Amino acid sequence: MKKTLKYIFHIDHLLITVLTFVLVGVGYAAVMSFPIFDPLKDAMSDMSMTDYFFSLADKNSDVNQDITIVDIKDEANRGKIARIIATVDSLEPWAAGVDITFKGIKGTPEENEALLEAALNTSDKVVWATQLVDYDFDKNTYAEKRSSFFAEELGLKEGFSNLDDVNYNHKTIRKMFTLVDGDKGVLASFPVAVAQTVDSTEVKPNKKLTIDFKTKFVVVPFDSIKNNEELIKDHIVLVGSTTDEGDMWKTPLGKMPGVVLQAYSVYTVRDHNDIHYASFFVNLLIAFVLCYLFELLVDLQNRWLTSHQNEPWAIFLSRSYLLLRVVTIVFMALVTWGILLLFIHHSSYVDAILILLLLGLLSEARNIYIGAIWALSKNHNWCILKNSLFNTNKK
């Protein structure tokens, strides 16, 4: 037992694990420091294993029973859109969100009059989209909002529908806005305003929530509303276009219309336990423990092959590194599976990219370390060299 513990906690395993972290740190510093790595840096900044996890969860996710999307498709006639909104409202949904902003008076007077009348007569369950613009970096808030031309005059309930951040870099959308506390008071985001129309959902201002993509939604074409009343009544209904190329966004599930992304955001606000991201130090600790265990496993398989070094099959497995690759793939797969289960069932995420990167580089760190031990032990008799598991020059 004492011999086993001495082997498990041998300093060689610790130093190899530390060296693996050093290699990752040096590589990261190089990528961050040299302009030649800018493309890789940009790719890394828009990378998350949560995308892969959500794509796996999406294959088995259920259709949401509370939220329906009414698709106006490419309909541009404001009169028809007004009738769609009025029809949805007349079917008594829990809440209706209009993810369309009507900028100024366009089309015929009759179309605008129909739209104005629909806005005037809709119930207080309807939320209209607005856009926040002109971000003030000094005050850390937006300077203006742009609403539909009739919204402020009629005092309609609004929510800002911004999906991208202030830099408009159009990276993958993984988070949603909650509330903005600005010069004109607190304004809720579109999904928060819709959710709070149904119940008193509480969210903190000036915060972003990770969007939960573990569900699906029914999409009803605008010309089939009357045939699908059961999907409107006592539902949250979002009205918007799923075909507008100007409102398509990168998401963990691929390219997605803005109105569908808003639906996921409403779902997140209402039913989602916010995903808990492990802190930097917790990620390091978990990564260190797993890396150390993997080092033990790799060393054990090497010693097992060495104990059969005269056998042809052992020579083949050793020289081809086939067993090492199998052990590496299986261990990394088990780690990924564990992180996935933690994410799906407990809404918690640890840095899978960091962990897998460390595991992938551990063999390189072992080779460097063993090479250093062999080289130094030729001419030195230091204590750490004499006690090393890899010193083949012991006398």
Is the same domain home to 232 and 329? no
Question: Whole-model pTM?
Answer: 0.79
| Non-local CB neighbours of 270 within 8 Å, separated by 6+ positions | 66, 195, 198, 199, 201
Strands (E), the chain: 63-71, 95-98, 126-136, 141-146, 158-160, 175-177, 179-182, 185-188, 208-210, 216-221, 236-240, 248-251, 254-257, 276-277, 348-349
Q: What is the pLDDT of residue 2?
A: 80
pLDDT tier, 135 (very low <50, low <70, confident <90, very high otherwise): low
Q: Which of 274, 290, 324 is the last residue of a domain?
A: 274
For residue 395, tell me if it sits in a domain: no
Q: What is the pLDDT of residue 40?
A: 66
Residue 208's DSSP bridge partners are 177
What is the token pair recorded at 155? 């005092």
For residue 234, tell me if it sits in a domain: yes
Structural domain total, the chain: 2
- Tens of pLDDT, residue by residue over 363-395, are 999 999 989 888 888 888 888 888 888 877 655
Distances in Å between the alpha carbon of 71 and those of 8, 14, 66, 100?
Answer: 61, 58, 16, 11
Q: What is the pLDDT of residue 151?
A: 87
Nearest CA to 201 out of 273, 275, 142, 96 is that of 273
Q: What is the pLDDT of residue 201?
A: 75
Is the same domain home to 196 and 325? no
- Tens of pLDDT, residue by residue over 273-310, are 667 888 999 999 999 999 999 999 999 998 898 888 88
What is the token pair recorded at 149? 């031309």
For residue 51, tell me if it sits in a domain: no
- Tens of pLDDT, residue by residue over 189-204, are 999 999 999 987 777 7
Q: What is the pLDDT of residue 340?
A: 87
pLDDT tier, 168 (very low <50, low <70, confident <90, very high otherwise): low
Q: Which of 241, 274, 307 is the last residue of a domain?
A: 274
The more confidently predicted of residues 117 and 321 is 117
Q: What is the pLDDT of residue 41?
A: 65
Is the same domain home to 123 and 245? yes
For residue 258, tell me if it sits in a domain: yes
Domain that holds residue 326: 2-45+277-386
Is the same domain home to 220 and 71? yes
Give the mean pLDDT of the chain. 86
Is the same domain home to 80 and 191? yes
Could you tell me if 221 and 231 are in contact, meaning their C-beta atoms sit under 8 angstroms apart? no
For residue 393, tell me if it sits in a domain: no
Is the same domain home to 255 and 337? no
For residue 226, tell me if it sits in a domain: yes
Is the same domain home to 37 and 160? no
φ and ψ of 202, to 5 deg:
-100, 135
Is the same domain home to 257 and 295? no
Is the same domain home to 82 and 216? yes
Q: Which of 257, 274, 291 is the last residue of a domain?
A: 274
Is the same domain home to 299 and 346? yes
Mean pLDDT to the nearest integer, 89-105:
92
169, pLDDT greater than 70: no
11, pLDDT greater than 80: yes
Q: What is the pLDDT of residue 194?
A: 95
- Tens of pLDDT, residue by residue over 213-268, are 888 999 999 999 989 999 999 999 999 999 988 889 989 888 999 999 999 999 99
Is the same domain home to 177 and 300? no
- Tens of pLDDT, residue by residue over 312-343, are 888 898 888 888 889 999 999 999 999 988 88
Is the same domain home to 287 and 357? yes
44, pLDDT greater than 70: no
For residue 394, tell me if it sits in a domain: no
7, pLDDT greater than 90: no
Q: What is the pLDDT of residue 222?
A: 92
22, pLDDT greater than 60: yes
pLDDT tier, 66 (very low <50, low <70, confident <90, very high otherwise): very high
For residue 55, tell me if it sits in a domain: no
Could you tell me if 192 and 161 are in contact, meaning their C-beta atoms sit under 8 angstroms apart? no
Q: Which helix (H) or strand (E) holds 151?
A: helix 151-154
